[in-house]
Amino acid sequence: MGCSGSLALVIGCAFRALLTTEVTPSLVNLMLPEGASGASSSEGSVNQQPVIPELHPPLLDDSTRRQELNDRFGLYLLGLSYNPAVRDSFVETHLQIEKHIEGALVDDGYSRESVFEKRGQIRGIMFYPQGTGLSESTYLKYLKQIRENGTRDSIPYRRIQKAIKNYDLMGL
| Residue 6, pLDDT score | 53
Largest CA distance in the chain: 92
Distance CA(82)–CA(91), nearest Å, equals 13
Are 25 and 38 within 8 A, CB to CB? yes
Tell me the CA distances in angstroms from 126 to 79, 122, 142, 154, one per residue in order.
23, 6, 10, 11
Q: Per-residue pLDDT for 38 more than 70?
A: no
- What's the rounded mean pLDDT across residues 80-95? 90
Q: Per-residue pLDDT for 51 more than 50?
A: yes
| Residue 35, pLDDT score | 45
| Residue 80, pLDDT score | 73
| Residue 1, pLDDT score | 53
Distance CA(111)–CA(41), nearest Å, equals 34
Q: Per-residue pLDDT for 57 more than 60?
A: yes
Distance CA(49)–CA(146), nearest Å, equals 11
Distance CA(25)–CA(3), nearest Å, equals 29
Q: In the Cβ-directed half-sphere of 122, how many Cα atoms lie within 13 Å?
A: 25
Nearest Cα residue to 76 out of 145, 39, 130? 130
The more confidently predicted of residues 142 and 24 is 142
Per-range mean pLDDT, top range of 19-23, 103-107, 168-172: 103-107
Q: Per-residue pLDDT for 22 more than 50?
A: no
| Residue 122, pLDDT score | 98
Which pTM does this prediction carry? 0.72
Q: Per-residue pLDDT for 100 more than 80?
A: yes
The helix (H) or strand (E) run that includes residue 97 is helix 84-107
In which band, very low, low, confident or very high, does the pLDDT at 36 lie, cut at 50, 70 and 90? very low
In which band, very low, low, confident or very high, does the pLDDT at 32 lie, cut at 50, 70 and 90? very low
